[in-house]
Amino acid sequence: RQQLHDAPTLALPTDKPRPTFQSHRGAAFSFSLSASLTDSLTQLAHESGATLFMVLLASWQVLLSRYSDQTDFCVGTPIAGRTRKETEPLIGFFVNTLVLRARLEGDPTFTQLLAQVKDSALGAFAHQDVPFEQLVDELGVVRDLSRSPLFQVAFALQNAPIRPPALSGLRVDGVAAPTQTSKFDLSLTLVEHAGALEASFEYCVDLFEPASIQRLASHFVSLLEGIAANPFRALSQLPPEAPLQLPPLRPQPLTASEAPPSEFLAPRTPVEQSLAAIWSEVLEVPAPGVHDSFFQLGGSSLSSVLMLARVEESFGTEVRLERFFQSPTIASLAAALQSEAPQQMGADSTPMEVADSPLVLLQKGGSRTPIFCVHPIGGDVFCYIELARQLGDEQPFYGLRARDSGATGESDTSLEALARAYLASIRSVQPAGPYRLMGWSMGGNIAFELARQLEAQGEEVELLALIDAYARPLDRLAPNTDLGEVAKELLASELQQLPEHLDHPRIAALHQRLERHLRLLSTYEPGTYGGELVLLQATDVVDPSIQAHDNGWHSLVSQGIKVHGMPGNHYTILRPPNVQCLVEQLRAYLQKRSRESTPALSRSQT
């Protein structure tokens, strides 16, 4: 705690303005350090009573200081976490992250800095069992959605030998997987191989251009060569001696953790203050304003359920989810809690339920063919609000939300039956084609089945667009898997915790809905579809082993599949700024497929 108290943020110059939210879109650049340079650095470590890790880390800190013009910052490094002999043969994830503070004040020599880095590293190793997440909580770090907490740049040295398995009669070669993600702003990884060091920069493409990273690699090699030649020089005298050709520093945009926006308004009443405390806990943001949107602060449909459950526990008043989504701010929620009169619907663009139907009108107006977008596994459709808004007020946009279990009836028996029930609702609004269907995650599976049923009825499907959906998403589950436990895991993953009170009516209903939808997915065997499918696929893949090029859809589509990589992961693909790429791709398809024809609509839409 003493080492990391009040550690400043590392402000590297970037080629692009920092986005409000981390997208984790990344790329990599690889380069090599010669065997002779590696030998010199290893000898320097030996003579200084240090390790090669410490020499390389100190060198990396010097270069970061040159680029940032800072002498105080933090660098993260992974550690195996297998300090006990009993854990060495175990299969499992023990890795932890250490945070090492760099202090380069006073222009020391490299050997002096190396001694300091050695002490810092040994101190961190002595406390390596403290989980990184606990460290963040203990230090009271103010969360900033635009960057990782405590450090933004990482360093790793892989010096354990990695031998390919010996398989009789086979030659085994390693194949590097393409890098499309970056957990941090910038990471440097070095691997010892055949007496030399193979290095790789993994970087965030939202911040850096490839040319800047290549220049950084060149400067790092030059610096290491200067250190190896004379480690007793002051840091300011080490190469590259010419002024670094850095991209111009852009004005740093203010983030939520640094300063409130001009329209920021702090909670004014005890009710607003209580709500702000709940939002801060659920969303992990320090100071939400009363007019900040829950979803623009990082909230989701599932996390809104947890938030409202805590509101109900605190105030003893039930808040309808639909009312909250009309205006998802602290001010509006406080007004609803303090008023006995039901709130009136707001602007025309607010969500509106269609009576006795799973349909929710997320965007009203215009004469274009409406889009029908099916709910994900959680059952709500408010994750599509930003997508509907950015498609414009000339594009009608309906969400299909899940009904309560008591209202599902026969549609609860299979995914095909659920699609039939949804199709009846769709045709009550738009009796005839062409139809535009979409869905994210499980919603993609239901949209696919809707397209099949419409095709069987002789109707035209103008657009079938699936957002990061998998043809058989549960294939990896073992037989007889307890789907109730899987539902709990989904809850914990989305909410960053397992809710303490699963018996709370709102949480219990969500858990039952997740389990019901998992059961429908587990028994669904998709047939073939005679049309074309558009797959909008997240490029930031949490587990690359589950992703095929087409997510398993190719064999099920007769007229082919068009795959488009979209920034973000499975959960952030629909959030700003990533959603803008979805909107642009969808607009291109809609303009291509549609002649702005007016479909036959029922009076319920007009």
Could you read off the pLDDT of 224-240 as tens digits, one per residue? 999 999 999 999 999 87
pLDDT at 382: 78
pLDDT at 343: 38
Q: What is the pLDDT of residue 38?
A: 95
Top-confidence range, 36-40, 178-182, 189-193: 36-40
Q: What is the token pair recorded at 141? A: 């770090």
- The segment with the largest mean pLDDT, out of 156-165, 257-266, 341-350, 367-376, is 367-376
Average per-residue pLDDT in the chain?
80
Question: Band of the pLDDT at 600, cuts 50, 70, 90?
Answer: very low
Distances (CA, A) of 213 to 14, 15, 103, 238, 538: 10, 10, 24, 20, 24
Question: Is residue 344 very low, low, confident or very high in pLDDT (cuts 50, 70, 90)?
Answer: very low
Using the predicted structure, report yes or no on whether residue 294 has a pLDDT greater than 70.
yes
Q: Is the pLDDT of residue 433 over 70?
A: yes
Give residue 177's pLDDT: 67
> How large is the average pLDDT for residues 66-78?
93
> What is the per-residue pLDDT for 569?
83
CB 31 within 8 A of CB 37: no
Range ranked top by mean pLDDT from 128-137, 168-177, 194-203, 245-254:
194-203
CB distance 447 to 464 below 8 Å: yes
Q: Range with the lowest mean pLDDT among 165-169, 385-389, 456-460?
A: 165-169
pLDDT value, residue 252? 45
Share of the chain above pLDDT 70, in %: 77
Confidence of residue 127 (pLDDT cuts 50, 70, 90): confident
Residue 242: predicted pLDDT: 45
Local confidence band at 253 (pLDDT 50, 70, 90 cut-offs):
very low
Confidence of residue 42 (pLDDT cuts 50, 70, 90): very high
Residue 262 pLDDT exceeds 60 = no
Domains of the chain: 26-162+176-237 (3.30.559.30), 270-338 (1.10.1200.10), 352-474+527-593 (3.40.50.1820)
How confident is the model over 536-563, as pLDDT tens digits?
998 876 555 555 678 889 889 988 899 9
Distance CA 385, CA 373 (A): 11
Residues 6+ apart with CB under 8 A from 598: 367, 368, 369
Q: Which residue has the higher pLDDT, 301 or 387?
A: 387
Instruction: Give pLDDT, residue 327.
Output: 66
Vertex 145: Cα angle to 264 and 375 (nearest 5): 95
Whether residue 464 is predicted with pLDDT greater than 90 in this model: the reply is yes
Residue 403 burial (C-beta neighbours within 10 Å; 0-12, 13-18, 19+)? buried
Residue 556 has a pLDDT of 94
Determine the average pLDDT of the residues in 568-575.
84
* Strand arrangement of the beta sheet that strand 26-33 belongs to: 26-33, 196-204, 186-193, 153-158, 72-79, 96-103
Give the gyration radius of the chain's Cα atoms.
27
Q: What is the mean pLDDT of residues 132-143?
A: 74
> Among 111-115, 118-122, 147-151, whose mean pLDDT is lowest?
147-151
Q: What is the mean pLDDT of residues 399-425?
A: 80
C-beta of residue 435 within 8 angstroms of C-beta of residue 373: no
Q: Average pLDDT, stretch 477-493? A: 72
481 vs 417: which has the higher pLDDT: 417
Between 504 and 384, the higher pLDDT residue: 384
Summarize the confidence of residues 12-26 as an average pLDDT. 82
Mean pLDDT is highest, among 144-153, 202-211, 260-269, 574-583, for 202-211
Q: What is the mean pLDDT of residues 251-256?
A: 43
Q: Per mean pLDDT, which of 100-104, 140-144, 241-245, 348-352 is the most reliable? A: 100-104
Give percent helix, percent strand, percent coil of the chain, each to the nearest 5: 35, 15, 45
pLDDT of residue 244 exceeding 60, the answer is no
Our CA angle for 406, 408, 410, nearest 5°, is 120
pLDDT, greater one: 170 or 496: 170
Cα separation values, 475 from 418, 472, 548, 551, Å:
21, 6, 13, 12
pLDDT for 570 equals 83
pLDDT score of 285 more than 50: yes
Q: State yes or no: pLDDT of 65 exceeds 80.
A: yes
Question: Does residue 519 or residue 406 have the better pLDDT?
Answer: 519
Q: Which residue has the higher pLDDT, 537 or 20?
A: 537
pLDDT of residue 325: 65
Is the pLDDT at 114 greater than 60? The verdict is yes
Between 384 and 357, residue with greater pLDDT = 384
Q: Which residues pair with 150 in a beta bridge?
A: none
pLDDT tier at 32, thresholds 50, 70, 90: very high
What amino acid occupies position 154? Answer: A
Please report the pLDDT score of residue 503 as a whole number. Answer: 57
| Residue 32 Cα to chain centre, angstroms | 31
pLDDT of the residue at 606: 36
